[in-house]
Each structure stands twice: as C-alpha cells, then as structure tokens.
Amino acid sequence: MQMETPLWKRLVVWAIVVVGLILAAPNLFYSRVETRNDAATAIAKAAKLGVTATPEQTAALSVWPSWAPSALVNLGLDLRGGAHLLAEVKLADVYKQRMDAFWPDARDALKEVRDATGPIKRKPAPEGTLRIMLTNPDGMQAALAKLQGLTSNVVSLTGAGQKDMDIVADGSDIVITLSDAEKAATDTRTLQQSLEIIRRRVDAAGTREPSIQRQGADRILIEVPGVGSAEELKAIIGTTAKLTFNTVVGQGSDKTANPGQGNMLLPASDNAKLYYTVEAAPVVTGDDLVDAQPSFDQNGRPAVSFRFDTSGARKFGVYTTAHVGQPFAIVLDKQVISAPTIQTAITGGSGVITGNFTVEGSTNLAVLLRAGALPAEMTFLEERTVGPELGQDSIDAGKVAAIAGMVLVGVFMLASYGMFGLFANITLVLSMGIIFGILSMIGGTLTLPGIAGLVLTIGTAVDANVLVYERIREELRHAKTAARAIELGYERATSAIVDANVTTLITSIVLYFFGAGPVRGFAVALFIGIVTSVFTALFVTRLIIEIWFNWRKPKTLIV
C-alpha cells in the first residue's frame, strides 16, 4: 500500500520549507550581512545627497552576494544594547503659547471698540486661558463681536465647521480658550511635529535603525540601538532648542529683579551669577534659520555658524543696522548663551554663535538648530539603557540554552519514538530555520524574552508530533494496517492540535498589544513559533513519514 499526498500539496509544502530556509540563511552570517546592509544604506543615503560612495563602502557591498537575500532578524535593544525612552509631550504648553500669542492681537482688535469697553486688562488665569477684563461691561457685545472676527475655522476633518476658539463673557470679563476641536487638532499637530523633529535629530546623530513611534494620545516611544546611554539620547532629543535673538535691556546679578513690562529676566548659561533683562518679543527666532553647522570662532573655540532664510536675514539686517554698538542676546531655551555687541550691520543673513561650548556641545547645538525646535516640552516617563556587553552575554546564554534544550528534547523524542522521533527532530530543526526566515522577512525583532519564546517553541514544536504519534499508537492497537493507522492518527489528532494551539495564539495576540519592546518580541516569536510548528508537524513530518513509508514499505509499524 502506498501513501500518496497530491503532488501539488507536496510541492507547496516543500516550497514553503525551502523558501523559509533560504530567507533564514543570511542570519548564519550575521555580521557579514550586517556590514553589507549598513554599507548599502549609507550608499543610498549618500546618493540622495548626490555624493558618491567611498571605496570602503563599495568594498563592503561585496562581502555578501547581491542576489542572495539580505534581510536579517533585528536584534532588540536588550540584545544589541541601546537606549529606550518613553517621552510625554506637554500638549498644554502649546495651548499656553497660543493664548499668549493671541493676547497682542486681541488687545489691538479691542482698541477699535475702546469707546464702548473702556480700558482693558489681561487678568491672571490658568495656563491656556486668556481672561480680559473690560472696564465698562456695556461694551461686551461689541468686544465679543470684534474677537469673534479674529477666530478662524478649525482645520481638521473631525472638527470641520467649528471655530478654533471659545470666547465667552463671564461678568465683566471675556474668557478665551481653545475650542475642543482646535485642541484635538493642535494635539495631533504637536505630536506629529514632535515625532518629525525627534526623527530628524536622531537621524542627524547617525545611529542605526532608530524606532520612533507615537504611543497613545501624548506619548512618543524612542528606541535607539547602539547609543551609549539614555542620557546621551536625552541630550539629543530632550532639549526644546528654542532659539531667539532678543534685545538686551540690561544686566545684573539680582535674580529677583523686576524686568519690567514686556521684558524677561533670563540667566546666563555660563555664569550662574549673571542675569540679563531682555525684551520678551524676539527680533528673530530659530524658525528663520535654514542651516546651522558646528564651526570655530576666530580664537579657535567651538562655535556654531548659522544662516537665516530671506525674511530672517532681512529682519536681522534691519535690526543690526539700527543697533550698532548695542548688545543683543542669543537665547536658547530661556538661557542666554551669549550677548555679543553688534559691531557692524549684519546684512548677509549669516552669523556665528559663540559661547562656552565644547566641540560636542557645538555639534549637538548645530544638529538641534537644523532640526528645528520642539513645539512643546517633553518629560521622560521611562528610561532604559542596556549596554552592549549585557546584550552579548544574553545572546550567548540564550544560544547555549537553546542548543541544550534542542538536544535534550531531541534525545527524548528519539528514545520515545525511535525512527519517528528522528523525523520529528528533523522537522524541529527545519521549523527553527523557518521561524528565523519568517522573522527576517517581516523584519521582526528578536528580544531576550523572544529567545525564551523560541526555546519554549522547541518544547511545544514536538507536541503536535507527540499528539499524532500517540494517536497512531492507539490506532495501531486496533489492528488497522500501518498506512491506515498513520492516516487516522493524523486525522484524529488534528482537532486537538488545532484547539490546543489556537488558545496560545490568542495569548500571543494579547501579549503583542499589551507589551512593548522585549515582551512584544516574545509575542511575535511565540506566534510565529506556533504557526510554524503546527505547520511543520502536520505537513512536513507527514511528508517525511510518507517518503520513508513508501521507500521501506513496512508490514508492521513501531512508533
């Protein structure tokens, strides 16, 4: 009696196995393929900028053939080493900025109805709220109408048709807040801008495969492999980098001095005892910059050179022409970096920021200025750094454990099921290969719990085989022919195998959505492991048994 699986089915099964193994192959030469991939990325980046590749990069390309698959399993931060940050964007910052910016406009608009309202005054209010007191409440309607004229429609799909501000009368006061629709639109925008700016900053710092994702309503998860510590990463992305050029009104050492209306008192960044009084309204801001590069000043100290765009250059030119001989302050995140005196009118639109910089500091500042300022401040809720040594130790230990687990399970299967155990072991090795192939293909990330998940899969991968073999043994007892017993064994064990594994699939899906980073890696490994091991047990082992059976044609069967 022959066992015969349809040819097309056999071809499909073997094709899946072969493709899986081919996709897994690059992982055997991990560092070599990685060198090639890094070179390919660098060359592509250079080509975009119109730069030709260096000979070393071209040479690195040839260490791995270009026709061979080159996708690798990514190593998670806990294995490769790197930094992980969970940042919360202070969305309310932007509401405050908006209201502060709205006040001068509102003031000017209300001037036109001053006859009706009398003098107006901004009253203290919670952040993000603008409260304006009218001396004469009779002019309320006129004032409200004026202010309504300043509002505009919300620019978003969900908030279409709504105004961006809520303007209501409260006694003799007018209370202005952003409308809910506008807040939602602003939140989305703020978060997107933050993401984009963080991405630019991290990219500029030149690290490999950073992952920057939005999480929930106001959070950003940043994972950067290869960074020495979360501190370093925070230095790059944590600063708001709001750069302004302000008129200096005065300076002193009293930090409690009253700066006066329309002015701010700011500390000097390099001198704890020095405070500057500057005009609050900046002359130009970092938004007007088009470029910033680390450089050196005439004394050879690190500095940052910058270039304004056309409108920035014009504003700066007009200002410096009018204020020759006076100092102006270069302010970064509410600290005065330096306050040089304007020697001559600067009309070329470029300049140099000097200060107490280190080379690293000036390089970082240039990166930050190029990428632009963050729209809102961020706080860090979670910081994790794993050193590469620990990651390597984990990989080594994981490898040893996986090999030991495989050998132990293999010996057990051989002892329990003889020849059939051997078949199960062959499939086990194949399924491990296919798992790596799938992980490489989908760009999955292997983490330390992920390795544990794979080891766990080793144990359960043979489970489906065990179920089938036990069932075949039972069927054999009922004195059926060998071929029939194998067939029945497979058929009758299938429902148990499927039911038992679907529950674990449910778990791995929940795990994926529940966890981040390492736990997510575990979920992915578990999911792929289960699907692969059920596939190999039900189809691949069966084909192997079939080949053996048709070759040896045993009369009796010992499982």
Partner 1 sequence: MAWRLRLAPEKTNIDFFKHQWITFGGSMLLMVLSFVAWGAMGLNFGIDFKGGTTLRTDSATVIDTGVYRATLDGLDLGDVAINEVFDPSFRADQHVAAIRISAAKGQDQIDDAGLKRVTDALTAMDPALKIVSVETVGPKVSSELVWSSITALLATSLGILGYIWLRFEWQFALGGVLALLHDVFITVGIFALFQIKFDLTIVAALLTILGYSINDTVVVFDRLRENLVKYKTMPLKEVMNLSVNETLSRTLATSLTTLLAVGSMLVLGGDVIRGFSFAIFMGIILGTYSSVYVAKNLVLFLGLDRSDKPRATGKGADHEFANIDA
Interaction of residue 387 with partner 1, rule CB under 8 A: yes
The nearer residue to partner 1, 344 or 556, going by C-beta atoms, is 556
Q: Which of 536, 512, 519 is CA-nearest to residue 435?
A: 536
Residue 170 binds to partner 1 (criterion: CB under 8 A): no
DSSP 539: I
In terms of Cα–Cα distance, which of 157, 147, 152 is closest to 179? 152
Per CB under 8 A, 526 contacts partner 1: yes
383 binds partner 1 (CB under 8 A): yes
| Binding to partner 1, residues 288-347 (CB under 8 A) | none
Nearer of residues 15 and 400 to partner 1, judged by Cβ: 400
In eight-state DSSP terms, residue 447 is: -
Nearer to partner 1, 470 or 546 (CB): 470
Q: How many residues bind partner 1 (CB under 8 A)?
A: 81
* Residues recorded for the chain: 559
Q: Interacting stretch for partner 1, rule CB under 8 A, among 43-51, 141-149, 394-402, 542-550?
A: 394-402
Tell me phi and psi for residue 351, to 5 degrees. -165, -175
List the one residue from 96, 131, 234, 307 that touches partner 1 (CB under 8 A): 234
Rounded Cα distance between 150 and 106, Å, is 8
CA distance 299 to 352: 13
Q: Which long-range contacts (CB under 8 A, 24 or more apart) does 185-188 make?
A: 185/154, 185/155, 185/156, 185/159, 186/91, 186/94, 186/95, 186/98, 187/91, 187/217, 187/218, 188/156
Q: How far is the CB of 367 from partner 1 (least distance, A)?
A: 19
* C-alpha to C-alpha distance for 302 and 137, rounded to whole angstroms: 58
Site for partner 1 contains 155 (CB under 8 A)? no
Residue 466 binds partner 1 (CB under 8 A):
yes
User: How would you label 444-465 residue by residue, b for 16+ Cβ within 10 Å and e otherwise?
Assistant: bbbbbbbbbbbbbbbebbbbbb
- Shortest approach of partner 1 to residue 532 CB, angstroms? 15
Query: Does the protein bind partner 1 through residue 470 (CB under 8 A)?
Result: yes
> Residue 485: in which H helix or E strand, if any?
helix 482-514
- Tell which positions 63-122 bind partner 1, by CB under 8 A: 78, 86, 88
Binding status of residue 272 toward partner 1 by CB under 8 A: no
Task: Convert residues 184-223 into a mask of x (bound to partner 1 by CB under 8 A) and - (unbound).
Answer: ----------------------------------------
Is 485 one of the binding residues for partner 1 (CB under 8 A)? no
Quote the CA–CA distance of 459 and 408 in Å, as a whole number: 10
Name the residue nearer to partner 1 (CB basis): 104 or 216. 216
Considering the rule CB under 8 A, would residue 504 count as an interface residue with partner 1? yes
Min separation Cβ 414 and partner 1, Å = 9
CB half-sphere exposure, 190, CA atoms < 13 A: 25
- Span near partner 1 by CB under 8 A; candidates 17-25, 68-76, 129-137, 229-237: 229-237
Give least dist CB 513 to partner 1, A: 8
Q: SS3 for 224? A: strand
